[in-house]
Structure 1
Amino acid sequence: MKANKIVVPIDFTQTSKVGANYAIFLAEPLHSEIIFVHAYSVGNQFGGYGAITYAVPDNFVSNEKFYKEKMTEFLENFPQLSSINFRSVFAPGSTVDIICQVAKKEEAKLIIMGTEGTNAVEGYFIGTISEKISRMASCPVMIIPEDFEVSEIKSISLALDSDNLKSNIELGVLADLLNLFDAKLYILHFLEDNNKTINKEEVKDYYVGQFQRENISFHLLSNGEKDNIIDNFLQENRIDVLALIYREHGLFKQLTEMGLRKKMVFDSNVPILILK
């Protein structure tokens, strides 16, 4: 059972402000503790999860004081924290390793991070840090688009693979969001073989049972439709979060390939929830 904690990577940039803002948005109604984490390289500070931006003291005590002061200054941008339980963690090492270690040690329910790029998934796949964290993390990861403005979650889309329509992974975070916001769930499946028959009602009923909710619909999108059909689907249904199930193969892995799958999410400007 995961603890009710949200881990948020902080590098003191606009990107991490976006991630922090979304974490704060979810933390209070979820009654979660936020753990802000900053990983640093001794001798230099890396901005944007990669580029050296300024020198720092080269001894541990000075580093701790330096980063605590920067974190205090950074968190002053979020007066909403006055009503939320939170703390900060600082450690030398790579961002990926430190974030994953803290999440595992704290038995975190979720990691929330902003990403650089025109949208959440472009930043996710191109800016490899978020991709590596979601692959190595012991919990789900939520990727927030650059400059995203927080709004109420009314609709969530869950994209499924052909061989994994009835997923047995932990869906607790998705269930929490659905229940918290009384959101509608749009189950989305890309049909690669038009000759294959999918029992839509059977799949829908499975997730009605999983989530104990009736406000669920199932949608098939086929290869014969225009390239931007999935993006249109997200826009037309005003999807607020796109959920993907992390797998080493299947739809998730293929999303970076050229063509429809790439367009499926690269044109999306909504947060991406990586379930695992």
Structure 2
Amino acid sequence: MADLKIQNLTKTYGAKIAVNHISMTIKAGSFVAFLGPNGAGKSTTVGMVCGLVAPTSGQISLGNLAIDATSYRAKLGVVFQDSVLDRDLSVAANLKLRAQMYAHIDPAWQQQLIAHFGLTAFVTQKYGTLSGGQRRRVDIVRALLHQPAILILDEPSTGLDIQTRRIIWETLAELRRDTGLTVILTTHYLEEAQSADFVYIIDQGTIIAADTVANLTRDYAAYQLKLTPVDAPKLLQQLQAQGLKAKSDHQTISVAVPTAQAALAVLNNCQSLLTDFECRPGDMNDIFIALTGKAVH
């Protein structure tokens, strides 16, 4: 299994810079997420990695394979935001046509994918009659038919229900474990990025942070406490005396602390001034706000 290397990748459209000198090495077998808002440059980057968008400058390689090699593209499976399958054909017919594009498709592997992604019950139905979640699962099976080394998912869960997303991610986790599949995800769904081994946060075509979820959370996402006070002025005074910055919305007071232990200390010190509280760990949205001043949309 080979690593995917991206060096100084840039894409411009006239005066507009869509991707600005992005570099990264994606280790074989890893799950990497590109997190950012719409228009951040995530899909353009994926388009260049797939060979569908010509870079303005920079290099992409998979081991010793350059991006213009036929064998490079054979290593990729891609699930685009918009489906490439025929709505008037059945699921089985669509998969058969796709399989014919490759020299060697293992029938047992295809049947395994159909079973794992739960397509059996509707494999004879027309693709266009399926629900959005069913179509997305077919799209993923289509991308995996030729047993690629890398699966690229470009905003795969937009508009899908939570149950369908869970089926997709649990199945992909099994495939990664069993086959060493590398997964590259572009998303603004925070819970999907939360599961990644490594996250690149992209804004305006630039990587603004790159680290494990644990390290990004430690550095940029504090624990969030929402306190319901007995006496708001006294509680604010006590929090400020502890060196904490607190915000009041008249009914509750919000304060950020770096660790769970710090949150417990605040609650212990202020318990006589509280009627209720909520506490949650920081998430990817908190990280993005800390880095850019805006939420992921």
**Could you state the TM-score of these two structures normalised by the residue count of structure 1?**
0.34
